[in-house]
Structure 1
Amino acid sequence: SLVQKTYSANFPGEFGGGVINLTTKAIPEESFLEISFSGSGDEQTTFSTGYTYYGSQYDWFGFDDGSRDLGPELQEFFDSGARINDPEVDTKGILLELGNPNRILLQKNDWLPVNMSGGITAGTGFDFGDTGRFGVIATASLSNEWRNRRIISQSAINADLDLDSDFVDFVTDNRILVNGLLGFGLELGEHQFRLTNLFIRDTLKRSGLSLGEDLQDNDTDLIQNTSWFERQLLDTQFVGELEFGALSVDLRGGYAQTQREVPFDWEFTYSRNNNASDIGGLFLNTLDPQRGGAIVSFSDLTEDLYYGGIDLTYEATDWLSATVGYAYTDTNRFSTRREFDIRASTGFPDVFGAFRPDNLLGDALIELGFDPEAQAAAGLDPFEFNIFETTESDPAFEAGLEIHAAYGKLNISPMAGLTLDLGVRYEDATQFVNPVEVFTVPVGSQEDTSTFIANDYFLPGATITYEILPDLQARISASKTIARPQFRELIYQTYYDPESNRQFNGNPSLIDTELTNYEARLEYYMGGGDRISVAGFYKDLENPIEIFSSFSDNDQISGFANAPAATLYGAEVETQVTWDLYDWGGFWETKQFLVIANYTYTQSELKVGPDDVTRVLNRDQPASNFFRDGVALTGQSDHLVNLQLGLEDQETLQQFTVLLSYASERVTSRGAAASLPDIVEDPGVRLDLVYRQGLTAFGIPLELKLEARNITGRDHIEFQDNGTTRIDINTWEVGRSFGVGLSAEF
């Protein structure tokens, strides 16, 4: 892999600060087989108490056995185009399908297991003809990990940060990751071809129980969540690199499909009113908005990406080469989210509200709710169950982005030590988001949720490199780039991110961000891979996209808006130095000491004038409602430090590495309506230790790997602070983690 920090016209126009170029090896020099296993754990989770629910028998593998498939009544409803309250909808049948205990019964696990992972990689290659070679590499891996988080979630009602709610969310995540790769490589003389097929399935089984105070109503709420997040990527890519003397031809094309499915995402709320009329001080869920609730949602997203391109490079002379190219991408997304609120009428007995979720929506109680005679025989007041869909106005969206790009660039060396890289890229893009009507009888106008962006850009890039001395060079670059809004930032549909523990709603009024970039870099190469570089950079951003947040009950809801403008500037120092310890003799004779360090200083500033406006949901609003002039961009830390200290043997596999990272405070989201303080993350200092040792057993080469992560015990901290009062928004103890792995190569 290679990180390219300077923009060049052959890179995509969406270049914010770097591009990672990953090249997969496809033709091994000799046949091999490698098998690996590892185990790990952390202080907060391993052998500790957590929560889970059954789900299905194959959950450990990251695949559902069909238990989360829609039942026939619910599937018929989705297919019919009816609305949930239409008379022809079988409400009882749907409710009987929803209340499966395996999906909603939260259980305590007193002994969470060790994280485990295993993988196998194999490859072979063979020669044919005079100049041909063919190779195959295949790899597969499976990991199953657990994580406990005790999250402090507070929200404020005003700028004084008086509390509106104060919750502790205990969440147990069971993450299962399945990977597979199959690569083919072909060499024909100077020509190389690669076909890479990648499969990734990332599944998260989430179980949560929250306890907290609604300070405005003086209620104590107990909230249970059970979720199953399936994310899957299938990517096929072809690359051809052809050499015809002075002419090089690079071909690429591929297809990728991304899927995200969250079936039966459940939330049950039980409340205690904290007054004498409560039944024994119990938490009750009477299935009404005032006291409790049962909400279930279903979301499904599929995105298809087709891409291709060609680059032609001609070396006219030893001091001049020219490159032209064309690239095409076509992305299409279809996203649905249906959320249903299950309610009981006013006659619902309070005593039933003490039932646990699987009994509250159990078959017996559902049958009783649709049997007036049985209610009367039991001496109960009449009651019934109803289902309300909260997403009728925005259940489904389609989105697309098509980009045609062409570029040309020259690489010129007009004199010894001087190199010019000059180019321009032209991109023509059309991006859209449209609501999809899923009901036979349309609900109403959805014009405010549509997006259409059609722009073309000329994006120049120029880099001048001058060799001051044989081992010292200076580089100056200038460029224009863009950043398009992502689909999830545009689509007006709730998206829950389990990692950040917050909901996002898109803004269909977002527009592209345009960047002007300048960089100057001085690089000194000391030989043997040792180097040091010093750089300064400046960026001017027009219409940067920023995140802002508001709060509803215990939920943080984040949205997106274009700020008028911003500037960003800073400096970077990077070095890699090794010292040979041969002169120390003995144990140290074959060792070398390695230092890799990077420090980045960054300052940024939003530019917001009194007359500036921003569009949110297709309505112009004063930009000052969302942004404050002079504050830093979201996600930007003033100081970033990465330090790697290593001791390694130059003759055998033996490495000991110390990894130290530090990031100063950074804003993760703007405060609501620009009246509340910004939400700030404090990453702090993190220290990791890694040891690798080569071994041999029964003639088999082995590699032992030991890891100790987050030795400093740094917590995840997000807060709001107005100078006198501080509240925690999303804070939890991370704990130290330890791991051991062993791999064998045959």
Structure 2
Amino acid sequence: MFAGGVPPHIFIFLFLSFRAGDNMGLSASRRLLCSAIGMIVASQGQAAAIKLDAFVDGKPAAVTEVLLDGKAIGSSAAGESFWYDDLPGGGHQLQLRIGERVIPYEFTIGAEEAAVIIVNSESASGRAIKSLQRLELSAFDSAGAEGEGIASSGEESLLPGLIQGKVVSAGGNTPLRNVTVKVAGSDQSTVTDRFGAFELELPQGVYQLELQHPEFQTSRLRNQRVLSKMNLAVDVQLSPKDAFAGGDAPVVEEVQVLGRYLPGNPIEIERISSSVVDSIDFTQISRFDDSMVSSALKRVVGVSMEDDRYAVVRGMKSRYQSTEFNGATLPSTDPARRDLPLDIFPAGIMQGLSLQKSATADVPSTATAGHISMRTRDIPEAGFFKISSSITHGDNHGDDMVISDTEGDRDWLGMDDGSRELPNELTPSLQQWVNLDNGAPGYGGFNEEEVIRMGQSLRHNAIYKGEALGDSSMDFSGGNSWDIGEQSLGVIGALRYSNKWSNSTKKNSRFAKYNERIALIEFAETEDTNNIIDLSAMLNLQWNINDRHQLGLNNIALRHTTNSAELEHFEDVSTGHEFKFQRTDWIEEELLSHQVWGSHSFDISAGGWSAYLGDLSVDWQLMNAGTEYDRPNATQYTYQKGVTGTDSYGLVVKNFGDHYNLWETMEEANSGYRLDVALPIEDIFGVSLLLKVGANDLQRERDGYHYRYSLSGRFSSAGIALAENADPSQAIIPEVIVGRPGLGDGPSGLGSMYIYVGGLDPAMDTGLEGDSYIVEQNSDATYGLVEANILEQVKVNLGVRRENFYMAGEQYMYTVEPMTELLDEERTSPSLSVTYLFSDAWQLRAAYSETVSWPEIFEVLPRKFNDIETLEQYEGNPDLKPADIENLDLRLEWYPSDTESVTLALFSKDITNAIENRFDGLGDVFDYYTFTNAESAEVYGAELDLRREFVLGREQGHEFFVQFNYTDIMSSVDVTEGSGIFEYDTERPLQGQPDYIVNLQLGYDHVDSGQEVTLVFNRKGEELAIVNPGISAAVSNVYEMPFDDLKLIYMKGFDNGLSLSASVENLLDAERNLEYETQELPYLQYSSGRKFKFKASYSF
């Protein structure tokens, strides 16, 4: 190209013509000059061309007037293409007049190119969908002498379009599998999948489809127009065969929607996203036997699970993640965690889940490792109802499980009926100090008789060896929508109940180092049984006012209850003493969420430049959510061997930690809003833009208390041996309860015990002291971003987010004082993502972002939280600072087809002021920990993700797929020496970060019989589980060893809506092991055994 598109040989010819004027006559010179100008005009006129096809609602438009750069250049009749080849290369403005509507479009084109433009106008919404392809002009035959009529040879170079359809049974709307869809006049065909879906990729043209199924009437779809780079969505209903019917196949009145391809499967969501995203298709939950979101999420590349409840993304725990449910941030159900447990969300209510690994301005600034976005199922277009039930039996189910004997009438629902609530006799101690210091008179306002009644009021939980036959679950879901004139109203709901058991024997070894010698000092073997009850309900409503305006209401209630019992045999090897600890626990977690939302679209075009503006979209949401955590009457009792004079065990109450009754409650209320406004700008010289701004606000209020009562004194149940079913009430009888210390053996002669209430001297109830707390936390954010699609080859996402974070709290025993400000910070977080499209199949992404990790309530508030099981006590640090992170991502992606992908990603996280758990000292009962800022930390790694499908003889219906992903992670935390903080390593990995993660899924489908077999394998490498406290006797850090999890699922589907499945979990019967880093000494071993599950589902 030279000087605006004029070829250089023309300029040479001009120069020669002027030179020729010196040697020949004027007339000859003029003739030569005119010839040269004619050549320029001819050259520019033939430099480029346009071919235009206009449609309205997928059908050829009527007479279309065409204006180019403000000038009318012609019109096209109905159903005809418009061709124009008298335009120069460069940028142009095109306007189409179809009736009273004017559709603007800007494009660029080079010399010797033809711009093939397709425009489809939607009459209902007023939107216009456009596609542009640039082809070599030589691909088209020249126009005739009159400029009319063109050959179609150029269309052979056009990209194909798609026909995407769903076939269901008439009346029942049940998806039909194995329907053969043939293209008339060709050998091209396909078969519908288990969801009744099919897809055909065809060159631009008009086709007839024939649908065949042995149990349904053969039907034809005529005049199916396929346009380049667009998809035709078709919904078809087939009627059952009538034995007496005959004649030709009926022509079906199908529903068609023409537009650009809208992604529904995870691969398309990942491909068109402007950031690094991985997603899950929840239509596949039956295939993988996913009952909860937690089991589905761990199949995503780079994700592992902590305690099978909490996500660890790229080796980073919850403090480096953000989670939203239907666009809203929900409160945690645990007072000592910031993240939501994902095992309380049923997979059956989910439409999709995406994990965005590169932060953009429209997600929270805490999305360092990833932003988890969950979305519930959409309102159905047709009514449905589904019921599912499952039963499970495992190796560890049986009659030797330790079970608490405290039972209420509503335990089967996971709801305490008051059997475990705080006794009335203890209520006065919540507001007043019970002072038993050396029998001092007055008892802080109580008399001795009242203190005795307090001790006697404690309810004691026994355990016994019982039987659990297995696990069970029941799921119901349904929905419908109704047309009311031009409007529609829809509803969808779901209800789920699950009751499951786990049972294991855990072996724990503790070693100590003395000079160069390492010796076993403690050994414990614990029988651990947990009964988990899940109860959930969802009800969503949606009102479609028209195509541009929708309103909705989302409601969800989730309950997760854990009823646990433990019997631990503990041996102090150094002294030879043996003990048994008996523990029971009941924990209820509840989440209630309500969301009112609206989605609106406005046509703001009004001629001129505004005609290039797309529809302004406004999405808003008002949210209210609350959580409750209730832990009533958790207990521990201690039995010592030999106190009865024999080898049996007797109950002892000597030390502070021998016994406790504990009540803990937390409630949190969240309210907030979010607003997102987006404006697309149509192609301007090959550049499409999306401008987006938004704001959100979240107000959190949390309050909670922790009451711990202990029996103390000098007591041993001599002569009362521990039976197989441990019942402490056999020894803790009213006669041994006294009102104050120092009463010796008491009236029973077995010793005496008194209640230790704890509490706080009222004079000390100032500042952040006490077991009760109130916290207010406010966060608000505004953002702006622009997405640019440049020549359909480069995509750019550039944005900035401004986030403010405020936290204030009060910790008290009796009297609430004004709030103390704990944190008041703000951050501005930029983000940039660039995607280069080598072709429709290959693309490369690069992203940079800055994020922040705000400290959570329990990390800042100096409240002591005791973990009874691990004997660790955590205390918040009011001086904790936010952590700032710089993120880099690079990912190469290959999409061989719409259902296949191969991606390779590199990532890096550079953390300043990383928040870490730190050992702070040893105690008689607990080891003390706090939270501090490490100087720096770094996380980096690589991810490989592959999904491929294979057809093993389509006519026989054999299909096979493989999904594989591998993540390699490395991290380093620089722990500053000095400052009184102890650690074994001053440079170590992040706690909870596995070395690697491997996922493999293999699937086989026999399409004709509706059978599926799926094998799911998961393995994660070594991860740092326990950080060594750094004292002289400590051996080393403790690492969790690799664990191999293999699951096999078989499913059989029937045409009447019934499906049956069977699965085996932990097929390898693998054992979980934790080891000391030094000499690979054992720390903890246990196995959960295999589980065998049968499930039946019916849809109608």
The alignment's TM-score, normalised by the length of structure 1, stands at 0.88
Say yes or no: does 1:146 pair with 2:501: yes
Say yes or no: does 1:309 pair with 2:661: no
Matched with 2:856 is 486
Distance 2:397 2:862 in 1: 36
The amino acid across from 1:582 in the alignment is G
The amino acid across from 2:1093 in the alignment is G
Q: 1:547 to 1:367 in 2, by over 3 A?
A: closer
Residue 431 of structure 1, CA deviation: 2.1
Distance 1:41 1:438 in 2: 49
Secondary structure (helix, strand or coil) at the match of 1:488 reads helix
- Deviation track 1:707-732 (CA, whole Å, cap 9, x = no partner) reads 1111121222223232x36131x431
Matched with 1:686 is 1045
Secondary structure (helix, strand or coil) at the match of 1:564 reads strand
Distance 1:163 1:196 in 2: 56
Gaps of 5+ in 2: 1-351, 437-442, 604-614, 762-768
Say yes or no: does 1:597 pair with 2:974: no
| The one of 568, 583, 591 aligned to 1:233 | 591
Matched with 1:739 is 1093
| The one of 598, 601, 606 aligned to 1:243 | 601
The amino acid across from 1:198 in the alignment is I
| The one of 695, 699, 708 aligned to 2:1054 | 695
Q: Tell me if the contact between 2:976 and 2:986 (Cα under 8 Å) persists in the aligned partners.
A: yes
Residue 173 of structure 1, CA deviation: 0.6
Matched with 1:265 is 634
Matched with 1:655 is 1012
Residue 96 of structure 1, CA deviation: 2.4
| The one of 356, 359, 371 aligned to 1:7 | 359
Which one has the largest radius of gyration?
2
Matched with 1:297 is 662
Distance 1:116 1:658 in 2: 23
Matched with 1:512 is 882
Secondary structure (helix, strand or coil) at the match of 2:988 reads coil
Secondary structure (helix, strand or coil) at the match of 1:389 reads coil
Say yes or no: does 1:40 pair with 2:392: yes
Distance 1:423 1:302 in 2: 36
Residue 37 of structure 1, CA deviation: 1.0
Q: 1:517 to 1:122 in 2, by over 3 A?
A: same
Distance 2:511 2:774 in 1: 36
Q: Tell me if the contact between 1:52 and 1:172 (Cα under 8 Å) persists in the aligned partners.
A: no
- Deviation track 1:417-437 (CA, whole Å, cap 9, x = no partner) reads 011100000001112343123
Matched with 1:408 is 784
Residue 22 of structure 1, CA deviation: 2.0
Q: 1:554 to 1:434 in 2, by over 3 A?
A: closer
The amino acid across from 2:1091 in the alignment is S
Say yes or no: does 1:122 pair with 2:478: yes
- Deviation track 1:330-386 (CA, whole Å, cap 9, x = no partner) reads 11211211112212357x77456879411222345448999x99966x7x4985634
Q: 1:3 to 1:286 in 2, by over 3 A?
A: closer
Per mean C-alpha deviation after superposition, the further-off stretch among 702-711 and 649-658 is: 649-658
| The one of 445, 453, 466 aligned to 1:93 | 453
Matched with 2:371 is 19
Residue 41 of structure 1, CA deviation: 2.3
Residue 255 of structure 1, CA deviation: 1.2
Secondary structure (helix, strand or coil) at the match of 1:469 reads coil
Q: Tell me if the contact between 1:334 and 1:396 (Cα under 8 Å) persists in the aligned partners.
A: yes
Secondary structure (helix, strand or coil) at the match of 1:293 reads coil
Secondary structure (helix, strand or coil) at the match of 2:412 reads helix
Q: Tell me if the contact between 1:644 and 1:660 (Cα under 8 Å) persists in the aligned partners.
A: yes
Residue 281 of structure 1, CA deviation: 3.2
Q: Tell me if the contact between 1:471 and 1:526 (Cα under 8 Å) persists in the aligned partners.
A: yes
Please give the residue correspondences for 1:632-643 in structure 2 after superposition, counting only pairs within 5 Å: 632-643=989-1000
Distance 1:647 1:451 in 2: 59
The amino acid across from 2:1094 in the alignment is V
| The one of 551, 559, 563 aligned to 1:193 | 551
Matched with 2:810 is 434
Q: 1:140 to 1:667 in 2, by over 3 A?
A: same
Per mean C-alpha deviation after superposition, the further-off stretch among 179-188 and 546-555 is: 546-555
Say yes or no: does 1:456 pair with 2:456: no
The alignment's TM-score, normalised by the length of structure 2, stands at 0.61
Say yes or no: does 1:285 pair with 2:285: no
Secondary structure (helix, strand or coil) at the match of 1:92 reads helix
The amino acid across from 2:692 in the alignment is T
| The one of 394, 401, 404 aligned to 1:52 | 404
Matched with 2:1001 is 644
Q: Tell me if the contact between 1:40 and 1:737 (Cα under 8 Å) persists in the aligned partners.
A: yes
The amino acid across from 2:408 in the alignment is S
Distance 2:965 2:926 in 1: 37
Residue 559 of structure 1, CA deviation: 4.4
Say yes or no: does 1:182 pair with 2:539: yes
Distance 2:863 2:526 in 1: 24
Q: Tell me if the contact between 1:547 and 1:559 (Cα under 8 Å) persists in the aligned partners.
A: yes
The amino acid across from 2:905 in the alignment is A
- Deviation track 1:102-138 (CA, whole Å, cap 9, x = no partner) reads xx111111x32211111211212111121x2111112
Distance 2:801 2:1042 in 1: 37
Matched with 2:909 is 539
Q: Tell me if the contact between 2:822 and 2:860 (Cα under 8 Å) persists in the aligned partners.
A: no
Distance 2:1018 2:577 in 1: 42
Secondary structure (helix, strand or coil) at the match of 1:532 reads strand
The amino acid across from 2:967 in the alignment is T
Alignment RMSD (CA, Å): 3.1
| The one of 1071, 1079, 1091 aligned to 1:715 | 1071
- Deviation track 1:483-512 (CA, whole Å, cap 9, x = no partner) reads 1223233344455679x8664514224321
Q: Tell me if the contact between 1:491 and 1:505 (Cα under 8 Å) persists in the aligned partners.
A: no
Q: 1:725 to 1:522 in 2, by over 3 A?
A: closer
Residue 170 of structure 1, CA deviation: 0.9
Residue 55 of structure 1, CA deviation: 2.6
Secondary structure (helix, strand or coil) at the match of 2:855 reads coil
Q: 1:193 to 1:381 in 2, by over 3 A?
A: closer
Residue 400 of structure 1, CA deviation: 2.8
Q: Tell me if the contact between 1:345 and 1:385 (Cα under 8 Å) persists in the aligned partners.
A: no
Matched with 1:617 is none
The amino acid across from 2:631 in the alignment is V
Per mean C-alpha deviation after superposition, the further-off stretch among 245-254 and 629-638 is: 629-638
Identical-pair percentage: 22
Q: Tell me if the contact between 2:967 and 2:996 (Cα under 8 Å) persists in the aligned partners.
A: yes
Per mean C-alpha deviation after superposition, the further-off stretch among 5-14 and 184-193 is: 184-193
Residue 551 of structure 1, CA deviation: 7.3
| The one of 691, 703, 706 aligned to 1:337 | 706
Secondary structure (helix, strand or coil) at the match of 1:505 reads strand
Between Structure 1 and Structure 2, how many residues are aligned? 708
Secondary structure (helix, strand or coil) at the match of 1:544 reads strand
The amino acid across from 1:56 in the alignment is G
Q: 1:727 to 1:489 in 2, by over 3 A?
A: farther
Q: Tell me if the contact between 1:634 and 1:666 (Cα under 8 Å) persists in the aligned partners.
A: yes
Secondary structure (helix, strand or coil) at the match of 2:454 reads helix
Per mean C-alpha deviation after superposition, the further-off stretch among 517-526 and 83-92 is: 83-92
Secondary structure (helix, strand or coil) at the match of 2:730 reads helix
Distance 1:630 1:373 in 2: 53
Secondary structure (helix, strand or coil) at the match of 1:68 reads coil
Please give the residue correspondences for 1:567-582 in structure 2 after superposition, counting only pairs within 5 Å: 567-582=938-953
- Deviation track 1:147-195 (CA, whole Å, cap 9, x = no partner) reads 1121122333447653332111111111111111111112222223331
Distance 2:1065 2:923 in 1: 35
Gaps of 5+ in 1: 614-619
